[in-house]
Amino acid sequence: MAVFPRGTPLSSEIILTSLDSTPCGNGGGGRDGVAQQAELRRIEGNACFKKARLGAAIDCYTEASKPLPVSGTLPFPVQRSSLVLACDSCTAIALCPDVAVYWMNRGLCHFRRKDWTKVEEDSRRALALDDTLVKGHYLLGYAMLEKEEFPLAIKEFEKGLNLLKSTNSAANMIEDMWQVLAKAKYLDWEQHSTEQVWRMQSLKEACENALQEHHFLSGTLAEDSDGSTDEYSEQLKLLSEVFTKATLADTPTDVPDYLCCQITFEIFRDPVITPSGVTYERAVLLEHLRKVGSFDPVTREPLKEHQLVPNLAIKEAVQAYLKEHSWAYRLN
């Protein structure tokens, strides 16, 4: 069987831009012929996709889907590619329905067209056939995100991230996945917290009104009786303090300094500590060592890459903090 070329990933949305080329050779001479055809269609689709003929791509796919399920190469959400892939994916699916990749490719097509229901369907089919497809999890998670089903989205992204980590994938793919996971977690928190905030606010107002009425009725609200207006205003002050403390975890504020990198001032994701005792973000520090010089950014002591130690305790601290204060997932 001929070897088919792979597409090259682009900088943005790396996960979705790498073209998959998995030949579906499932034994048997006849099957092979079909599989080859399927792959050819897929490659054709890729070419079409590159010329931005999305519709044509999808049509191709749909055409081929008549008796058999249709797969199409997807229009990657990439500047230069187009949807012809979709077309050929469809044909490919028709010819070779058991290949998860084709389903996923068509899902990518729909992704480009922002047709989230179809994205969900296709990615679920793909994952049913092969659970280890990172892109499948990504697509499904994204579809859930767009449909505002945040807990499901978070689950999918976490699965994808675990797969990436266990297979030691490229750092930019892990970065992509992490970013979209953080977005999902933040939106989930936002949804919960707005409701909470509203309830707290109305409860606080009810308490304040009740206190005011109590003082009014007992005649202690009069302006000339200084003693009791003090009591009333003190009570109000304490009440607002109480409500502030109770809602503290849900109130976005600054992330504490010891959980942030000294260079980026963002919360840690993979903290490493240097022999001088200062902790930095691993990726940023490595870049510093490569570009600027082999010394510690803060203490300026000589520093080599092999001297870095992962600060596991701080990593745990960050996780505990994010669990309680999910608003910190918002990336700048």
Partner 1 sequence: MDGEHQQQPVLPKREVKGIRPWMRPTLLQRRRRAAPPPFFVRSKGNRREKRTRAHYMLGLALVNKQNLAEGIKALEKSLELGRGAHPASYMVEEIWQEFSKAKYIEWESLSRKRASQLDKLKITCKETLRNYTKFGNPDADEPEEQLNEVEEVFRKAAKTDTPTDVPDHLCCKITLDIFRDPVITPSGVTYERAVLLDHLQTVGKFDPVTRVALEPHQLVPNLAIKEAVHAFLSEHGWAYKIR
Binding residues for partner 1, rule: CB under 8 A, are 199-200, 202-203, 206-207, 209-211, 213-214, 235, 238-239, 241-243, 245-247, 256-259, 271, 273-279, 309-314, 316-317, 320
Q: Least distance from C-beta 214 to partner 1, angstroms?
A: 4
Rank residues 128 and 210 by Cβ distance to partner 1 and give the closer one: 210
- Parallel, antiparallel or unpaired: strands 309-310 and 279-281: unpaired
Rank residues 4 and 243 by Cβ distance to partner 1 and give the closer one: 243
Q: Least distance from C-beta 150 to partner 1, angstroms?
A: 24
Contact status, residue 147 vs residue 299, Cβ threshold 8 Å? no
Question: Phi, psi at residue 260, to the nearest 5°?
Answer: -115, 145
Rank residues 152 and 308 by Cβ distance to partner 1 and give the closer one: 308
CB neighbour list of residue 142: distance below 8 Å, 6 or more residues apart: 111, 119, 153, 180
Closest CA to 123 of 145, 101, 92: 101
**Strand pairing partners for 271?**
281
Q: Least distance from C-beta 182 to partner 1, angstroms?
A: 21
Q: Least distance from C-beta 166 to partner 1, angstroms?
A: 20
Rank residues 139 and 303 by Cβ distance to partner 1 and give the closer one: 303
288 vs 230: CA distance, rounded Å: 58
Q: Environment class of residue 159 by beta-carbon count within 10 Å: exposed (0-12), middle (13-18) or buried (19+)?
A: buried
DSSP helix/strand/coil, 309: strand
The full DSSP string for 106-127 is HHHHHHHTT-HHHHHHHHHHHH
Q: Least distance from C-beta 323 to partner 1, angstroms?
A: 11
The full DSSP string for 23-48 is ----SSHHHHHHHHHHHHHHHHHHHH
Q: Least distance from C-beta 247 to partner 1, angstroms?
A: 8
DSSP helix/strand/coil, 147: coil
Rank residues 27 and 227 by Cβ distance to partner 1 and give the closer one: 227
Rank residues 153 and 259 by Cβ distance to partner 1 and give the closer one: 259
Rank residues 129 and 211 by Cβ distance to partner 1 and give the closer one: 211
Q: Least distance from C-beta 143 to partner 1, angstroms?
A: 35
